[in-house]
Structure 1
Amino acid sequence: MLNRRRMLQAAFSGAGVAMGVPSPRSFAAPTESGLPSATLRSGGGPKRIVFFMQNQGFDPRTCIPKGMKHSGSLGTAKLPEPISPLEPFKDRLHIINGLHGTHTSPSHSAFFGALGGYRGGDGVPPSGSTIDYELSKVLPQTMLPHLCIGMDSIENMKTKPTIARLSASGAGQPIFMHSNPNHLYQLLYGGIAEGEIRRQHEARSNVMNKIEALAAAKGQSLPAEDQHRYGQFVRGFQDTNGLREQLSTISEHLRQFAPKVDERYAQPEFETDWHDRLLDLGISSLTSGITNTLTIGSGRGEIFGAWKGLGIDQQGHNLGHMDQPDNPIWIKIRQYNSRMLVRIMEKLESIPEGSGTMMDNTLIVYTSNNADKQHTNGANWPVMLLGNCGGIFKTGCFTQIDGKRPINSLYTTLLRVAGQNVDRFNMSEQMAKKFDEGNGPLSEVLA
C-alpha cells in the first residue's frame, strides 16, 4: 500500500510548494463541549502529546534541583532558575536523568535519530519512523494527525519556511516543520480569515486545484514505469486540497480557536515574534481538535537558532559552546521555553474534556535533539515530562536512572500507554544486547 504522507511530501518537493501537510483523515463533528468527538475517548492513556525539542543540548544541571543526587519528590525542592516558571506546576513535572542515546551518535544533533532512537546525522535521511509519528497513528484520530512547527532565526524561517530534520513517517520519509506562521495560518484558518489572508488562501486554493487536475490529466500519457511515481505526486495535491476542504466543513467551530492576526505575523520585529505566533497556532491546533500530536523544534533540530527578542545577540553554533549552568543567556532561553510550556498547559487546563480538562489527558515531553550538550556522545539524555494522563505517569518527582537504558525505552513506554503491545521501539534484538540492559517500558516513569 502506498504511504500517503510520502505522496504528499513528494508532491511538495516536486512542485516546490512548502506547506508540509501530512495526509488528512476524516474528522468527526464537534460535540456539545465544542471539541470534535474524535478527541474524546475512554479507557485511559494520553489523548494528545506534545514534543518540545530544544537544540544545543539540555544540561541536567539546568533542571535538577541543587542537592538532589538520588530519585525523590520535588515537593520541598526549589526548581533551578532556568526552569523556574514551572515551579507552580512541579506537582505535574517529572525530571528524568540518566537515559542514554549513544547509539544515535548525536554530536551537534541526532536529527531524526533524536525522536527515532537510531543513528542520525547531518544530511542523513531517516532510517525509520519517529515516535511522534507512530503515536499520531494510535492516538484518537483527528483531521491532521501530526503537526510540526520549527523555530529559528528570522532569516532562516523566511528563506526556508519548511524544513525536515526531526520527524519522519518511515525510512527516507521526512515530515516537514512549518516555520512561517503566515503560511501555517493560511493552511489552518485561511478559509475563515478576512482581507489579504483570505485572498491569498483563495488564490492558492485555486492554483492547487488546477495543478491537481492538470497533473492528473498529464500523468495518463506517461510511460507505465513513471505513472506510479507520478501518481504519488498527484495524490499529494489531492491530500492538500482534501485537507482544505475538510477544514472548510468545520469553519464555525474553527472560529472559536483561531488566533488573532496582528502585525507580528507580517512584520515581526524579532524572530521571537514568529516563535510566539507559531506556538499560538500549535496550541490552537490542539484545542480545536485539528491535531493530537504536536512537535516543536526550537532550533529546528540543527545547530542554529536565535533569540534576539530576549536580548541575546549571540546565535547559532556559538550558543552550543557556552556552558549552560548559571549562564545568563541560557537562563533566558530555558525560561522562555518553560514559559512556552506553561502557556500550553494553562490553555489546555482552561478547556473541559470528559470529567476533567484537556491537560488531564495530555503529555508534554521536553528534551533536546542532542542529549545534554553540543558535541555530546549521548551518554546522558535528560528529559522532562509534564502531565500524568489520569494517573498513568508519575509526577512531582525526580528520577535518576543508571545510564543503561536508551531513550527508546521511554518511547516504548509512550506506545504502551497509548495501547500498543510493544517491547521495543526501533531497536533490534542485536542492538538491544549492546545498548539496552532492560526490556519493555521504562517502569520508573509509570505510576
Structure 2
Amino acid sequence: MNKKWQISRRKMLKGVGAAIALPFLEAMASPLSLNNYSKDGFPLRSAFMFMPNGVHPGRWTPEGSGRNFQLSPTLAPLSHLKDDILVLGQLMNKNAIFQGADGHYAKTANLLTCMPIQKTAGDNINSGGISVDQLLANHYKNQTLFPSLEYGLDRIQTGVDINVGFTRLYASSISWKNPTTPLSKEIDPRLAFDRLFKSFVPGRQAVENPHKSSILDAVLSDAKTLKNNLGRSDQDKLEEYLESIRSIEKRINNQSNIKDFASKITPDIQKELVRVNQNIDEYVEVYAGVDVTEKTRLMFDIMALALWSDASRVATFMFGNSVSNRNFSFLDGVNGAHHSISHHMNHPDKMEQYDRITKWHLEQYAYFLDKLKSIKEGDGTLLDNSLVMFASGLRDGNRHSPRDLPVILGGHGGGKIKSGQNLIFEENTPLANLYTSWMQTAGIEIDHFADSTGVLHPIMN
C-alpha cells in the first residue's frame, strides 16, 4: 500500500557531504498526475546521437511503409525494438550544402541547428544558431541539476582541414549554446560519472584510490530513512536505482586499478609511461583498432542514470568527431578505419565493411534504448517518456550528400509520438520539421525552427 505523503521532486539523498539525485518516484507526483504517467506524470527526456561518415546507402532503408514494414539488414540490431522506433526517410538538412568543397564539417556542426555555418579556417566559428538540444535545455531551466549533458568518444579537434578549408573545430560539436559557443563534450566515463554523482562533496580531491568508499556509502543512512516512508513500488524502484549506481561504480573503478601499477615502478619507467600514455591518448583510439564498445556502453549507462534521476533531461552523444577515422578492426570482417572505408568507391568489400561498422553503431544505440526500456516509470518505462535520435549528417560517405539522411527516432515521447513506423516523407523535407515536432512534444510553444516548414504530422498523436 502506498504511503499517504509526498516528497519534493528536488529531494536528494545526503550524507557526510555527499548528495545524489533521486529517480522519479510515485511519492513525488500528485494524485492527478499518477492517473496518466506517460503524458502528464513524467517529464520528456531527450537524447541526440551522432554517427560520423554516413551509411551504406543501399542497405539502410526498410521495405514497406507505415506500420507494415520490414527492417533492412543494416537495421537488424533494432529488430526487437521495431515497435519503439521511427525510421524517417527523405529528411534533408538544406543548410548543410555549401557551394564548392564542404566535406563533412558543414553537415556536422549544424546537425542540430539546421542553419548554415560560417566557413572559416580560424576560431571565429559560427553554427548559425542555437541547437535544438539547448532550446530544450532552456525550456527545463532550473528544473534539473544540469541543463544538458554532452558526451562522446573523441577529444576536440583543432587545426585546419586543408582539403576543404574548414577549421576542425566544427568536427567536434553538435551542441551549441549560441551560434558562436559550442558545448564541450565529456569523453571520460570516470569524469562523467563523478560530475553527476560526486560533485556535491565539498573539497573532494580527484579519486586516487578506487577502493575508497563510494558515494552510496555516504548516503545509505538517508536512503534507509526515506525507504521506510515509501510505498512498496517506490521502495523497489529506489533499491533498483541505487544498485544501478553501484554497478556502474564497480565497473569504472575496476578500470582504474591500472593506477596501482604505476606506484610500483621506478621514476624513469614512470616518465616513459607518461610519454607513451600521452601518445596512446592521442593516437591509439584512432589508429590501432581499440575496441571502444565497453567505453561507449559505460557512457550510455551514465546517460541513462542521468535521465532516470532527472539530473538532466537533455543529452547529446557523438560516436566520433566528423571525419572520424577510428579503426574498427576490432570487428569481425573489418580491416581499416571508418572514414577511409566510407570512401568505398562502390568497391564490394569496402561497402561490406562500411555496413558492419554502421551495424556496430546501431547495436550500441539498441543497447541504450534497451537500457531505457528496462527502467520502469509508473505503468510504462523510461523509454516511453523519452525521444532518442540516431543520425548521421550525411547519407553516404562516398558522396557527402545531406539528402535523405539516415535518421531513427526511438521512444514514445510520453505517448505523443506514433512509434513503430517507417515513414518516407516528401523528398527534401526539412530535418528542422522533426525538431519543431520534438519541441512541441516537449511543451515548447514554437511553430518554426531554422528552415522548418511545419511539423511531421504522421509521427504525432
Q: Deviations over 1:148-193 (max 9, x none)?
A: 111249999xxx9xx9421111121111111122322332234699
Q: Deviations over 1:396-429 (max 9, x none)?
A: 22111122421111111111111122221124xx
Matches of 2:393 and 2:207 in 1, distance apart? 34
For 2:294, the aligned partner's letter is D
Q: Counterparts in 2 of 1:185-196, with a 5 A limit?
A: 185-190=193-198
Pairing 1:107–2:108 present: no
Contact 1:153 1:306 in 2 (8 A): no
Q: How many Å apart are 1:202 and its aligned residue? A: 8.8
Q: Larger deviation: 97-106 or 119-128?
A: 119-128
Q: How many Å apart are 1:59 and its aligned residue? A: 4.5
Contact 2:54 2:406 in 1 (8 A): no
Pairing 1:128–2:129 present: yes
3-state SS, counterpart of residue 183 of structure 2: strand
Structure 1 pair 388–271 and aligned structure 2 pair: CA distance change class (3 A): closer
3-state SS, counterpart of residue 310 of structure 1: coil
Aligned to 1:237: none
Aligned to 1:145: 147
Structure 1 pair 419–192 and aligned structure 2 pair: CA distance change class (3 A): closer
Output the TM-score relative to the length of structure 2: 0.66
Q: Counterparts in 2 of 1:324-363, with a 5 A limit?
A: 327-363=351-387
Structure 1 pair 409–95 and aligned structure 2 pair: CA distance change class (3 A): same
3-state SS, counterpart of residue 175 of structure 2: strand
Contact 2:47 2:315 in 1 (8 A): yes
196, 206, 221: which one aligns with 1:200: 206
3-state SS, counterpart of residue 174 of structure 2: strand
Structure 1 pair 202–189 and aligned structure 2 pair: CA distance change class (3 A): farther
Contact 1:48 1:292 in 2 (8 A): yes
Contact 2:91 2:428 in 1 (8 A): yes
Matches of 1:55 and 1:392 in 2, distance apart? 29
Contact 1:410 1:441 in 2 (8 A): yes
262, 270, 273: which one aligns with 2:291: 270
Aligned to 1:307: 328
426, 431, 437: which one aligns with 1:402: 426
3-state SS, counterpart of residue 455 of structure 2: coil
Aligned to 2:115: 118
Structure 1 pair 325–29 and aligned structure 2 pair: CA distance change class (3 A): farther
3-state SS, counterpart of residue 185 of structure 1: helix
Matches of 1:370 and 1:356 in 2, distance apart? 34
Where in structure 2 are there 5+ consecutive unaligned residues?
1-7, 14-20, 159-167, 210-214, 224-237, 259-284
Matches of 1:304 and 1:59 in 2, distance apart? 16
For 1:130, the aligned partner's letter is S
Pairing 1:297–2:345 present: no
Aligned to 1:238: none
Pairing 1:72–2:66 present: yes
Q: How many Å apart are 1:361 and its aligned residue? A: 0.5
Q: How many Å apart are 1:389 and its aligned residue? A: 2.5
Structure 1 pair 372–347 and aligned structure 2 pair: CA distance change class (3 A): same
Output the TM-score relative to the length of structure 1: 0.68
Pairing 1:166–2:160 present: no
Pairing 1:63–2:60 present: yes
317, 323, 345: which one aligns with 2:339: 317
Q: How many Å apart are 1:362 and its aligned residue? A: 0.8
Contact 1:265 1:274 in 2 (8 A): no
Structure 1 pair 111–395 and aligned structure 2 pair: CA distance change class (3 A): same
Matches of 2:80 and 2:357 in 1, distance apart? 19
Contact 1:127 1:171 in 2 (8 A): yes
Contact 1:257 1:287 in 2 (8 A): no
Matches of 2:155 and 2:76 in 1, distance apart? 25
Structure 1 pair 410–372 and aligned structure 2 pair: CA distance change class (3 A): farther
Aligned to 1:83: 75
Contact 2:339 2:397 in 1 (8 A): no
Structure 1 pair 423–107 and aligned structure 2 pair: CA distance change class (3 A): farther
Structure 1 pair 299–425 and aligned structure 2 pair: CA distance change class (3 A): same
Q: Deviations over 1:251-271 (max 9, x none)?
A: 968854431325446769633
3-state SS, counterpart of residue 178 of structure 1: coil
Q: How many Å apart are 1:372 and its aligned residue? A: 4.3
What percent identity do the matched residue pairs reach? 22
Structure 1 pair 101–175 and aligned structure 2 pair: CA distance change class (3 A): same
Aligned to 2:304: 283
Aligned to 1:47: 44
Q: Larger deviation: 37-46 or 115-124?
A: 37-46
Matches of 1:298 and 1:100 in 2, distance apart? 21
Aligned to 2:161: none
Aligned to 1:365: 389
3-state SS, counterpart of residue 405 of structure 1: strand
For 1:200, the aligned partner's letter is A
Aligned to 2:459: 445
Contact 2:436 2:455 in 1 (8 A): yes
Q: How many Å apart are 1:374 and its aligned residue? A: 5.0
Q: How many Å apart are 1:328 and its aligned residue? A: 3.3
Contact 1:55 1:299 in 2 (8 A): yes
Q: Deviations over 1:106-154 (max 9, x none)?
A: 7324222111101136764322210111112225832112111112499
Structure 1 pair 389–155 and aligned structure 2 pair: CA distance change class (3 A): closer
Matches of 1:426 and 1:249 in 2, distance apart? 45
Q: Counterparts in 2 of 1:170-189, with a 5 A limit?
A: 170-189=178-197
Aligned to 1:432: none
3-state SS, counterpart of residue 10 of structure 2: coil
Q: Deviations over 1:303-336 (max 9, x none)?
A: 4334343254412530321259983323332222
Q: State how many pairs are aligned.
A: 354
Contact 1:126 1:172 in 2 (8 A): yes
Where in structure 1 are there 5+ consecutive unaligned residues?
1-25, 204-244, 428-435
